[in-house]
Every structure is written in C-alpha cells, then in structure tokens.
Amino acid sequence: MKLTKDEVEAASRRADARLQKPPCAVKARYDHKRERVVIDLSTGIEIAFRPHDAQGLERANPNQLDTIEISPSGLGIHFPKLDADIYVPALLEGFLGSKRWIAAEHGKVGGRASTKAKAVAARRNGKLGGRPKRIQPPA
C-alpha cells in the first residue's frame, strides 16, 4: 500500500501534536495483590512500580497507599496520607525520586556489596587494629 503525500503530512501533524503533550495519568491505584502502585496513562499504557522503590513511599504501609490523587494536569500523583508526590514524566524516564535520593539509594547498594577484594581489605584492616577510634573534640 502506497501512502499519499497528504497521508504522510497528516501522520506527521498527529505525531507532532502527540509529542507536545506527554502521557498523563488518568487513573491510579494501589494493587494489594501485586504490591504495586499502578498508573493508567492517557495513551492506554499501564505502568506499575514497587512503593519501596520510590522516594517518599519507601516505608509506606498498604493502608497509606489506598488513597491516590491525580493532579489536574495528570502529570503528578499525590499520596495524601504520606504527603508524597510522584512526577509522571520523571517516572516514565525511570526516576523514582530526586537525584540526591537516587544517589543515596545507589550508595546503600554499593555499601552492601560483598566481594573478595572487600573481604580481603577488611581482614587486612582488622589485623592493623581496625577502624581508628573517633576522637571527640573538647567540650
């Protein structure tokens, strides 16, 4: 099937219009069975994430996640019981928190990492007396 010039131009206009308006949330809920926050987007796509992976929700219990509000623009979701917000465009890019919060979460993972080199270094430091005692400044 060969496309006409008019069809190609119409498709380009539709694509440009869609790019001007990002997908927005039209429905949001907490799925107790899957233990996920589920957001239905205006594009028909559904996205879900674990609450403990998102800034402000990491210590939430299911009862605190039952109420979710969508901003008038559809670009944000709000958890009133936690006073926490998620920005939908950032969520679509894979960001579940601020840059500082994400860096701290990644640091926790690195600190938990157990490698042979880390174990060898810990044993070597232990033979030297371990971590030096912190000296308290005079009061």
- Domain extent for 29: 20-97
Rounded CA-CA distance 94/82 in Å is: 21
Rounded CA-CA distance 81/43 in Å is: 28
Q: Is 114 helix (H, G, I), strand (E, B) or coil?
A: coil
Q: Is 25 helix (H, G, I), strand (E, B) or coil?
A: strand
Residue 35 lies in a domain: yes
Residue 36 lies in a domain: yes
Residue 77 lies in a domain: yes
Here the CATH number for the domain that contains residue 34 is: 3.30.2020.40
Overall number of domains in the chain: 1
Residue 109 lies in a domain: no
Cβ atoms within 10 Å, residue 16? 9
Residue 62 lies in a domain: yes
Q: Tens-digit pLDDT profile for the chain (139 aa)? A: 688 889 888 888 876 776 567 788 999 999 999 999 999 999 898 999 999 888 889 899 999 999 999 999 898 999 999 999 998 888 887 765 556 656 665 566 566 667 788 778 878 887 877 777 778 777 6
Residue 1 lies in a domain: no
Residue 127 lies in a domain: no
pTM of the model: 0.59
Residue 91 lies in a domain: yes
Of 77, 33, 34, nearest in space to 57 by CA: 77
Rounded CA-CA distance 13/20 in Å is: 11
